[in-house]
């Protein structure tokens, strides 16, 4: 066999093959032996007709496809591996000459991992945001611990106030006729939570256990249920029971209940240290993502569509899995948002393209700088993951397969690439306080810090299956685009599923 490789573009190669006639004739004979049992020839039992007779009846080409399928895989694999190519899609085959007693001549044009033109990745500038932890943030974090030990006290026949929880039965009607989703019994409603349509909760305030009342409200004009949008409805409400929160005193006993500390002062100090550590981790993640994105934006490459499509499939599947963890189904989400799976998939195009380009740029920098991960550095990544997931190191390490070990190697190499970007970048630390944050902003920022730290521990370090780097004819065996990336900033959380369909209809979504 002989072949020649021609670069068609930065992401496409054309391989011209010439297979000796003897080799192709051998493949033709194998094809005959393989398929003769499926060919009908009058006067012969299946599988007994001579090859020449079959070719005379159906034409010599009857065995071409099977003979080619026998020759092509080994020839293609040999050329791809010898030339160190990385196909990312199935090749397009063009037959130039085929036939018994003739050299088989054909070309295979295939998209490969593209060449990357790197920018000046050693002269980047970025800011590390190290805003001071405020007393309000500490208070917001402590308030979350308070919720864990807050109890509910029955208030008997005392009038309900905002913040109280009412156990209610309700029935909604439009012009005297009940409507679907407008009824529930034993519903727990926290007054002031704004989970129901405007005006509902305000009219429950002041009611007492055992009291019944008709409440008139108007559904929002943009309400998700078109049959209710803008309509006036009457809800007959009965309060079955009423409770009020009893919050603990912020003292040593509280600290002992929610932490390992014996005094409130030590507990509060520990909370500040915890938030500071989370802030530092989040700031470093944001800095790294910023530098990586700058390096990506400064680089140029022509990404094959197949790589983008495969990453879109990956992101869509990841969304499906995240929904499953939240108790949601993709089908329900699509029905509720009136979208199709293809529309959802297409929404991932920009992220998919950026993810693939990020992978290519990081790999190009690695090659440019000659960066490799030592055995100790890979072991360090394995140890880090084992500790964060509470696994015994030696047992966990022994359980890893080759793909998982390769994935840890990629994590270690990518960490070295990111560290190189940081070492060569001009980084400015911003330590001034946020400007005029509201209490809600502070609570959200505190929760974001905790979620960022949790995401870093659960997502960034978790080894995922990785496709082999061996050069294969099949695109699915090509090098995967889902290599571990630099740490990502925390993604926005999907909205949680409501407790009941009734609440979806009666509340302002």
Domain match, 192 and 335 both: no
Q: Does residue 148 surpass a pLDDT of 70? A: yes
Q: Phi and psi (nearest 5°) for 412?
A: -65, -40
Q: Does residue 239 surpass a pLDDT of 90? A: yes
Q: Which of 43-52, 125-134, 182-191, 458-467 has the lowest mean pLDDT?
A: 458-467
Average pLDDT in the 449-464 region?
Answer: 45
DSSP bridge partners of 97: 105
The total domain count for the chain is: 3
DSSP conformation class of 459:
I
Domain match, 393 and 293 both: yes
Q: Does residue 509 surpass a pLDDT of 80? A: no
Complete DSSP assignment for 112-160: BPPP-B---TTS-EEEEE-PPPPHHHHHHHHHHHHHHH-EEEE-TTSPP
Query: Distance (Å, rounded) from C-alpha 143 to C-alpha 444?
Result: 13
Q: How far is CA 61 from CA 54, 68, 94, 96, in A?
A: 10, 11, 16, 14
Query: Distance (Å, rounded) from C-alpha 129 to C-alpha 280?
Result: 8
Question: Average per-residue pLDDT in the chain?
Answer: 86
Task: Write down the pTM of the prediction.
Answer: 0.70
Domain match, 190 and 215 both: yes
Query: Distance (Å, rounded) from C-alpha 241 to C-alpha 247?
Result: 20
Q: Does residue 399 surpass a pLDDT of 80? A: yes
Average pLDDT in the 31-35 region?
Answer: 91
Average pLDDT in the 280-287 region?
Answer: 96
In a domain, 508, yes or no: no
* pLDDT band (50, 70, 90) for residue 10: confident
Q: Does residue 258 surpass a pLDDT of 90? A: yes
Domain match, 267 and 373 both: yes
Identify the CATH number of the domain in which residue 90 sits. 3.30.70.1050
User: How many beta carbons lie within 10 A of that of residue 414, not counting itself?
Assistant: 25
Domain match, 348 and 268 both: yes
Q: Domain range spanning residue 371?
A: 125-140+257-501
The reported pLDDT for the residue numbered 378 is 95
The reported pLDDT for the residue numbered 438 is 53
| Apex 242 CA angle, 241 and 247, nearest 5 | 140
Q: How far is CA 60 from CA 29, 64, 95, 192, 376, in A?
A: 12, 8, 16, 82, 60
Domain match, 290 and 204 both: no
Query: Distance (Å, rounded) from C-alpha 373 to C-alpha 356?
Result: 22
Domain final position from 192, 218, 246: 246
Domain final position from 192, 213, 246: 246
Domain match, 371 and 391 both: yes
Structure tokens at 432: 């001034």
Average pLDDT in the 416-436 region?
Answer: 89
Domain match, 313 and 407 both: yes
Q: Is the dihedral of CA 31, 37, 43, 48 positive or negative?
A: positive
In a domain, 146, yes or no: no
Q: Does residue 136 surpass a pLDDT of 70? A: yes
In a domain, 251, yes or no: no
In a domain, 69, yes or no: yes
Q: Phi and psi (nearest 5°) for 218?
A: -120, 125
Complete DSSP assignment for 344-358: HHHHTHHHHHHHHHH
Identify the CATH number of the domain in which residue 440 sits. 1.10.3120.10
- Residue pLDDT, tens place only, 324-368: 999 989 998 998 888 999 999 999 999 999 999 999 999 999 999
The C-alpha torsion from 273 through 279 and 281 to 285, rounded to 10°, is: 180
Domain match, 35 and 164 both: no
Domain match, 479 and 344 both: yes
Which of the pair, 54 or 433, is modelled with greater confidence?
A: 54
User: How many beta carbons lie within 10 A of that of residue 343, not counting itself?
Assistant: 11
């Amino acid at each position: 066999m002989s072949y020649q490789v021609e670069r068609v573009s930065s992401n496409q190669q054309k391989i011209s093959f010439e297979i000796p006639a003897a080799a192709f004739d051998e493949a033709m004979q194998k094809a005959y032996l393989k398929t003769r049992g499926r060919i009908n020839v009058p006067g012969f039992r299946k599988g007994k007709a001579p090859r020449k007779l079959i070719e005379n009846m159906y034409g010599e080409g009857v065995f071409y496809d099977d003979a080619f399928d026998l020759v092509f895989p080994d020839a293609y694999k040999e050329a791809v591996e010898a030339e160190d190519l990385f196909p990312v899609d199935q090749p397009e085959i063009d037959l130039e000459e085929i036939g018994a007693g003739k050299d088989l001549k054909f070309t295979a044009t295939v998209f490969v991992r593209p060449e990357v033109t790197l920018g000046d990745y050693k002269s980047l500038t970025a800011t590390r945001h190290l805003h001071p932890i405020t007393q309000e943030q500490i208070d917001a974090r402590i308030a979350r611990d308070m919720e864990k030990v807050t109890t509910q006290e029955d208030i008997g026949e005392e009038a309900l106030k905002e913040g109280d929880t009412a156990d209610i039965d309700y029935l909604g009607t439009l012009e005297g006729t009940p409507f679907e989703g407008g009824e529930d019994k034993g519903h727990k409603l926290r007054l002031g939570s704004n989970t129901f349509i405007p005006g509902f909760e305000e009219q429950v305030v002041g009611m007492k256990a055992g009291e019944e009342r008709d409440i008139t409200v108007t559904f929002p004009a943009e309400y998700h249920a078109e049959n209710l949008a803008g309509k006036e409805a009457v809800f007959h409400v009965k309060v079955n029971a009423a409770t009020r929160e009893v919050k603990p005193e912020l003292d040593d006993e509280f600290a002992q209940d929610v932490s390992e500390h014996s005094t409130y002062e030590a507990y509060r100090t520990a909370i500040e240290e915890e938030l500071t550590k989370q802030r530092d981790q989040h700031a470093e993640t944001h800095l790294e993502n910023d530098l990586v994105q700058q390096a990506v934006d400064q680089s140029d490459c022509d990404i094959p569509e197949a790589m983008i499509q495969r990453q879109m499939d990956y992101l869509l599947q990841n969304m499906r899995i995240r929904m499953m963890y939240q108790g949601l189904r993709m089908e329900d989400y699509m029905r509720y948002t009136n979208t199709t799976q293809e529309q959802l998939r297409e929404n991932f195009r920009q992220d998919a393209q950026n993810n693939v380009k990020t992978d290519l740029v990081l790999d190009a920098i690695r090659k440019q700088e000659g960066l490799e991960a030592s055995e100790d550095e890979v072991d360090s990544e394995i140890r880090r993951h084992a500790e964060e997931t509470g696994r015994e190191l030696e047992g966990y390490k022994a359980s890893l397969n080759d793909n998982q070990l390769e994935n840890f190697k990629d994590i270690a190499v990518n960490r070295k690439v990111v560290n190189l970007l940081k070492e060569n970048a001009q980084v400015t630390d911003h330590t001034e306080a946020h400007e005029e944050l509201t209490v809600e902003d502070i609570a959200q920022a505190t929760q974001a810090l905790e979620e960022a730290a949790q995401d870093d521990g659960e997502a960034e370090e978790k080894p995922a299956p990785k496709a082999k780097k061996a050069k294969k004819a099949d695109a699915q065996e090509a090098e995967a685009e889902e290599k571990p990336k630099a740490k990502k900033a925390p993604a926005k959380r999907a909205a949680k599923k409501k407790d009941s369909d009734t609440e979806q209809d009666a509340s302002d979504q």
